[in-house]
Structure 1
Amino acid sequence: MDLNKQGIEYMQEGNYEEAAKCFSQAIEENPKEPIYYVNFGNLLSAVGDPERAIAFFNKALEMDKELGTAYYGIGSLLYNQEDFMKAKDMFEKAIKAGVDNSDTYFMLGMTLIQLGQTKLAMPYMKRAVELNENDVDALFQYGLCLAGESVIDEAINTFLRVIELEPAHSDAFYNLGVAYAGFKNDNKKALEMFEKALKIQPEHVLAANGKKIVSDALSE
């Protein structure tokens, strides 16, 4: 097995020391291969050394400006550092460079949400779901985007898909309660959803407030 593949296997196993040895040797033997620097950057990200990781990603980009995985790596680190504007630029460059996978669209969508641009985030979350229809996080965020833009029927269907995949997703039940109460005027259905959220997470304050509001409305 070549050093790069061996290093990736060690990383997946959590054996970072051996992975570092493999990637270091790979770089030493072929210092002009940018993917080795990306993999070393991923390793440094995994062990919590973002500054050195970014340096390795940038080194890879010096060799190949179209290496989308390097842009993605930098974007993820910037996102974790809450530098959302720069992170957005990196994820956009990753997609432009051909990194056409669910994770990249999801991260770009999340970055836009953090920037308060929910409407712009929606098509990226939709694409993330199209590429991985079982991604609970992407589905939930897509549902929130839809609800935020008052596309309620589709939002409800999306939240229902979330709880189909993850029956203990209390926030999905809570948002279903909001949708039924606030947009469908169905307080009985809303109460059912809030109660399910609270059964899963008894300290869910928003669900408790929602339950009180619809319970009071039903008792009038």
Structure 2
Amino acid sequence: MDLPTDIITDHLETTNTVLKSPRMGAEGYLEFENPEKLTSKGESFYLNGNHPEAMKCFQKALKMDENNLSAWKYTGMIQQLSNKHGEAIKSFKKALKIREDDPETLYYLAVSLHETGSYQESGDTAQKLIKIRADWDDAWTILAMSLQGKGDEEGAIEAYGKALEINPLNEDAAINLKELLED
């Protein structure tokens, strides 16, 4: 057997192929993330208060899967926090096309509708929510706020009362009821 007699000390000079940096490919790995991982990462960013990064994750997830309920819901929640209620309403309605009886989405939709002055639609959405989760004090609170916005003070007082019956520590219901009764 003949072995090479010259020793090669610099392998880079003798190879014809391009060597990749060990860090190359990390960017490419992100492209192969699935919508569930992106949504989970976005939820973590959201819960930690990093809404811009969360939004990027949700938008990427939605490009991969436009039927991602959580991504639509969180997108709407971030838009709502940014006072972009019109955009939030669109996002929540897309989420409800995927699952029409999702309580959180109905709640956040009712809130954004209320914030835009759509009291009737907000109240109708809150009624749907109460049929699903009658034990949720915030559902009764948003119904009360919608009724109050429409001028139905008697209905609002009753709904605030129901919210406080479920959760006596609901500050929004307590404050709004007190203001309503003082007027």
Q: TM-score, normalised by structure 1?
A: 0.65
User: What CA distance in whole angstroms lies between the structure 2 residues aligned with 1:68 and 1:204?
Assistant: 36
| Residue of structure 1 in register with 2:77 after alignment | 110
Q: Is the 8 A contact 1:66 1:97 kept in 2?
A: no
Larger Rg: 2
* 1:178–1:190 Cα contact (<8 Å) kept: yes
* Paired amino acid for 1:115: S
Determine if the alignment matches structure 1 residue 215 to structure 2 residue 147.
no
Question: Residue 52 of structure 2: which of 76, 85, 90 is its match?
Answer: 85
Match of 2:91 in 1: 124
Q: Gapped runs of 5+ residues in structure 2?
A: 1-24
| 1:186 maps to amino acid | D
2:39 alignment partner in structure 1: 72
Q: Specify the SS of the correspondent of 2:83.
A: coil
For 2:28 and 2:81, how far apart are their aligned partners in 1?
26
User: 1:161 maps to what in 2?
Assistant: 128
In structure 2, relative to structure 1, the CA distance for the partners of 1:184 and 1:73 (3 Å cut) is closer
- Structure 1 stretches of at least 4 aligned residues deviating more than 6 Å after TM superposition: none
2:160 aligned partner: 194
Which AA in structure 2 matches 1:194? Y
CA contact (8 A) 2:61 2:68 kept: no
- CA shift in 2, pair 1:63/1:180, >3 Å: closer
The CA deviation at 1:74 is 2.5
Kept in 1: contact 2:120–2:150 (CA 8 A): no
SS at match of 1:126: helix
Q: How does 1:30-109 map to 2 (within 5 A)?
A: 62=29, 64-65=31-32, 67-109=34-76
Question: Which structure would you say has the larger RCO, counting Cα contacts within 8 Å and 6 or more residues apart?
Answer: 2
Matched, 1:148 2:111: no
1:77 and 1:214, CA in 2 relative to 1: closer, same or farther beyond 3 A?
Answer: closer
One-letter identity of the residue aligned with 1:104: A
Whole-angstrom CA distance in 1 between matches of 2:51 and 2:26? 22
Deviation for aligned residue 1:194: 1.0
Aligned residue for 2:13?
none
**More off after superposition, 98-107 vs 83-92:** 98-107
* Aligned amino acid, residue 101 of structure 1: N
Q: Which has the higher helix share?
A: 1
Aligned to 1:14: none
SS of residue paired to 1:134: coil
Q: Distance in 1 between matches of 2:182 and 2:40?
A: 50
* 1:24-35 pair list within 5 angstroms: none
* Distance verdict in 2 for CA 1:124–1:63, change over 3 Å: closer
Provide the rounded CA distance (Å) in 2 between the counterparts of 1:212 and 1:64. Answer: 53
Q: What are structure 1's unaligned runs of at least 5 residues?
A: 1-57
Total equivalences in the alignment:
159
